[in-house]
């Protein structure tokens, strides 16, 4: 499956994630094309993510994508860790509300669980992201087969949702760096500069730039 520029498959159907990856790669000046796996293999069935850490789950997806297409595959596993909930939802962030990938249910569940915590300072949380890239050695013979990068973003859970530019828990997460705005109220450039995935991508792009 030849491409004009070096191509890395992204094992996701989330257009928001793909847009972030493309934006950060462009800003880093790297000559890679990132393609969603479903654009190349519409019938791809994502594997069961049954790991207990973000890295394990990202690795499961990346290896499955690489096996299916034979192209370097990047996968992300990320989630929200809330102090008052003893780290939940964590690796179960995407199904926290009972239905996989249902942002409305997830956000509703989060607000319900924090409804009795009125002290804003007690609603601390952080987004964590881990990226795993598998099979880069098939594109660059001197590159490692397995790369991992990670990033985080500290913040607080708001009392109400605000903003329409993000996805997932973005409308409820207020990064410490944005003076009262939620992640969903930031434009792409602002978000990439502070987000957990943005930091993880910067880490990844730095590693790619050295190869």
User: Where in the sequence numbering do the catalytic residues fall?
Assistant: 77
* Spatial CB neighbours of 2, under 8 Å, sequence gap ≥ 6: none
Q: Whose structure tokens read 């690795």?
A: 59
ω into 89 cis (within 30 of 0): yes
- Pull the structure tokens for residue 140: 């660059």
Q: What is the dihedral of CA 131, 24, 135, 147, to 10 degrees?
A: -40
Identify the CA nearest to 171 among candidates 182, 186, 179, 159: 182
Identify the H or E element spanning 58.
helix 54-69
Identify the CA nearest to 12 among candidates 98, 150, 103, 132: 132
Identify the H or E element spanning 155.
strand 146-157
Task: Give 124's strand partners.
Answer: 156
Q: How far apart are CA 176 and CA 143, in angstroms?
A: 36
- Pull the structure tokens for residue 32: 């890679």
Q: How far apart are CA 17 and CA 58, in angstroms?
A: 14
């Amino acid at each position: 499956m030849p491409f004009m520029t070096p191509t890395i498959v992204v094992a996701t159907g989330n257009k928001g994630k793909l847009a972030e990856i493309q934006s950060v790669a462009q800003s880093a000046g790297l000559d890679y094309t990132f393609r969603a796996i479903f654009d190349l293999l519409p019938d791809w069935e994502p594997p069961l993510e049954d790991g207990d850490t973000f890295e394990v789950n990202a690795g499961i997806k990346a290896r499955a994508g690489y096996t299916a297409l034979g192209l370097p595959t990047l996968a992300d596993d990320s989630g929200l860790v809330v102090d008052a909930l003893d780290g939940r939802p964590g690796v179960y962030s995407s199904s926290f509300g009972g239905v996989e990938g249902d942002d409305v249910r997830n956000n509703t569940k989060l607000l319900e669980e924090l409804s009795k915590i009125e002290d804003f300072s007690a609603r601390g949380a952080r987004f964590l992201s881990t990226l795993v890239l598998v099979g880069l050695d098939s594109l660059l013979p001197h590159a490692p087969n397995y790369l991992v990068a990670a990033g985080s973003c500290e913040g607080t859970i708001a009392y109400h949702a605000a903003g329409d530019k993000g996805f997932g828990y973005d409308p409820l997460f207020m990064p410490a760096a944005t003076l009262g705005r939620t992640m969903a109220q930031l434009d792409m450039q602002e978000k990439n500069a502070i987000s957990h995935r943005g930091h993880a991508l910067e880490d990844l792009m730095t590693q790619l730039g050295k190869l």
